[in-house]
Amino acid sequence: MTWRRWAVLFDLMRVGLRKPAAVFGALRMQHIKTLVYAVRHEPPSLILHNFGQLLGNGARTSLHPEKRQFEFEGITIYLEHILQLSGRIEIKGWCHSPENLISKIQLHGDENCIGEMTTGLDRPDLEQRYGRQYSKAGFHGLFEVRESVALWKIVILKPDGVSIHCPIPDYSAESRYQEWTLIDKDFRLTPRQILRQLKRSSGEKKLKVALAMSSEQRGLLQLHNLPCIIQTVPDEFKEADLVIRLHPKTYPQPDLVWQVILAFERSGRNARLLYWDEDYVNQDKTRSNPVFKPRWNPDYLLSWNYIGLDFAYRPTGREHQILFTHPIEVWKNAPKLSAAHLPYVLSHRMDSRSEAEANDEEYWYRKELLSAQHSGTRVEQGLYPTTFRVHYPLEEPQEVTIIVPFRDKLELLKSCIQSVEKFPPSIPLKWLLVNNCSELQETREYLDRLLSSRSDIKVLDYPEEFNFANLHNTAMKQVDTQFVLFMNNDIEALHDGWLEAMMEHAQRKEVGAVGALLEYPDGTIQHAGVLVGIGGAADHAFKYLPVNEPGYGMRAQVVQQLSAVTAACMLMRTEVYKEIGGMDGRHFSVAFNDVDFCLQLRQKGYNIIFTPYARLSHKESATRGIDQSPKQRERARREIRAFQDKWSEFLKEGDPFYHPMWSISSGHYLFRG
């Protein structure tokens, strides 16, 4: 627990001592559980605000509001997510007024009204944590911005016509990162704490650590009292149990060696590769551009060197004769690599290699690795410099059944089928159209024409209430092909080779499911993978980002492993679907059934792959619409609670392909508040 969290508890204790009657009169067991959860996960100001609401207005004096929280005349507004994309600004948060003092919430740029927020949005996460009065506290806005704006403001309009103006502070990445670096050290153990932990394993052989770095870099390290034998490279390299390698233009954090040794010991000395987060520094030693990395993600490493050139590894056998300078070299010599990620910034780079130099080196490492481990593969340049695409040869024979559920909306179904025919795959296809209670005569006539003219199309009637999971479970009983592609009726293919790009991964024995890059008709991203934990459950990464933007760490434009992908367009082996037992239609009839299914796949040891080389258009919920009725909203809340209960341990640990420093209020890789 960081010092900020302890400060919250101290403030709450002061409130309790000042108002003991209020504390013991108001507290209930659910409040205590909520407080324990909040202290671990929520920003301090939010904890104090909500606890103050519980105890009454007298507790307000202990609040320490952060930049994103504002309080005016009984109204509290909390900004969770602010993102400016090219030509757009998106704002998400919640606003609470115990006396219904809010009429409208607007966004103003300078002195002009940009637009009005959608308010009254369901927030079951807030309701669960803080009470029913927060159940519809959410608001959201996505606005077009054509001119530069010097000052953004949230404007709250009250029923009596009075307006309250809340200036939005600087939320640029640079500003937020400078704030974060001030408390960076509070997120990891100190050398004294590490020494205390390492002494518990004092009976083991003393570790020999070789430092592959310059004397200047070693001089920046805190090496006093280290419970290991420090060696130099190349003098004593042959006897090392662990090698820590730094790029010549890297400045290490003083506790780098301590943190690496602790992670190595926690792995039982079995980790072959250890890596950590980094950032960049200029001549004035100002830190910027943090590189917060996911846990071990081999497909991501093949696509882009997210690990960098600062890492540690455990040499074995003949590797004591070789100093590795790239993480792929370690992987090449240990195909079933055990890797450990340290989620702390432990090194700072002065600058990077030129793109041309980096591209040539990175290409060579990948070619060497794949020639040793995967025959028939080839490497080519990716969508951006220093990114790469690995092609896996397609196996023969292959046949795919495309399952498309629909209810009338013929224009969508026709466009879906025609788009696939416009960009026909080289893989044989069958169609299974699942008719979920269509009512129009023109729909029946169209289906009759299809069935009479095409032998590759079948129609399955599903006359039950819409249940995405059960519908597909029923359809899967009719599938007799090796592969199955789940495709919503509002999906359209956009280019040649889209299915082949998915198939080259779906055929890999270690892969359970493959998802595609989906874009809205306006050219912004609808799906670039799923991040688990966002919004209390899960959400898509990079929504509304222009489709050609790389995203943080190139992650919108490279092949990588993720925890889940959407079943709006998902390819997998039929036998794997049956092995899992299908989707859970009991708890997830509409939402989270695909995320739940992917997490089950990962529990079975399968990987989930996202590829941007299959790009399709998705209108999203064009047939069903969005959940607006009370019945639909209650179902949505029920599914969120079910997901949180079923995957509570996963949510507690955090998505391995995300990072604890990123906010769980948005899938845009923003700093936590």
**Which of 106, 623, 579, 594 has the alpha carbon at shortest distance from 412?**
623
pLDDT at residue 461, rounded to an integer: 96
* Whole-Å CA distances, 12 to 6, 35, 65, 167: 10, 10, 14, 29
How many angstroms separate the CA atoms of 491 and 502, rounded? 15
Q: What angle do CA 387, 388, 393 make, to 5 degrees?
A: 165
> What does each C-alpha distance from 382 to 299, 357, 359, 377, 524 come to in angstroms?
13, 16, 10, 15, 20
At residue 297, the pLDDT reads: 97
> CA nearest 344: which of 188, 179, 176?
188
Dihedrals phi, psi of 406, to nearest 5 degrees: -160, 160
Q: Give, in degrees to the nearest 5, the angle at Cα 307 between 306 and 311.
A: 170
Alpha helices in 135-255 (DSSP H): 173-182, 191-198, 215-219
| CA–CA separation, 142 and 487 (whole Å) | 27
For residue 197, the model assigns a pLDDT of 83
Pairing of strands 273-281, 287-291: antiparallel
DSSP string, 314-358: ---GGGGG----SHHHHHHT-SS--EEEEEEEEEEES----HHHH
Which residue type does 443 have? Answer: T
Sequence-separated contacts (24+) of 144-147 with Cβ below 8 Å? 144/87, 144/88, 145/84, 145/87, 145/88, 145/89, 145/109, 145/114, 146/87, 147/109
CA angle 26, 32, 35 (to 5 degrees): 110
Q: What is d(CA 662, CA 433) in angstroms, rounded to the nearest whole number?
A: 40
- Other C-beta atoms lying within 10 Å of the C-beta of residue 602: 18
Tokens of 256: 């780098």
Our separate counts of H helices and E strands in the chain read 20, 31
Burial of 610 (0-12, 13-18, 19+ CB in 10 A): buried
Minimal CA–CA distance to 231: which of 246, 218, 247?
A: 218
What is the C-alpha radius of gyration for the chain, rounded to an integer number of angstroms? 27
Paired residues of 280 in beta bridges:
288, 349
Nearest Cα neighbor of 485 from 546, 394, 375, 398 is 398
Count of residues for the chain? 673
CA atoms within 13 A on the CB side of 265: 24
| Residue bearing tokens 């540690």 | 312
| Closest to 91 in 3D by CA, of 141, 151, 157 | 141
Number of neighbours of residue 134 by Cβ within 10 angstroms: 20
**249 near 280, Cβ under 8 Å?**
no
Residues 4, 5, 6, 8: what is their CA dihedral angle, to the nearest 10 degrees?
90
Q: What is the pTM of this model?
A: 0.80
Report which of 523, 564, 583, 577 is spatially closest to residue 547, judged by C-alpha positions.
Answer: 523
* Residue 234 exposure: Cα atoms within 13 Å on the Cβ side: 6
Q: Mean pLDDT of residues grouped by 10 in the chain (673 residues)? A: 47 48 45 52 46 37 45 79 70 82 87 87 77 85 77 85 78 61 66 83 75 93 89 76 93 95 92 94 83 95 95 83 87 86 93 67 86 84 93 91 96 96 96 96 95 95 96 97 97 97 97 97 94 93 90 95 98 97 96 97 98 95 62 90 96 94 84 67
Residue recorded with tokens 């050219």: 523
Domains of the chain: 3-62 (no CATH), 69-171 (2.60.40), 181-352 (3.90.550), 400-653 (3.90.550.10)
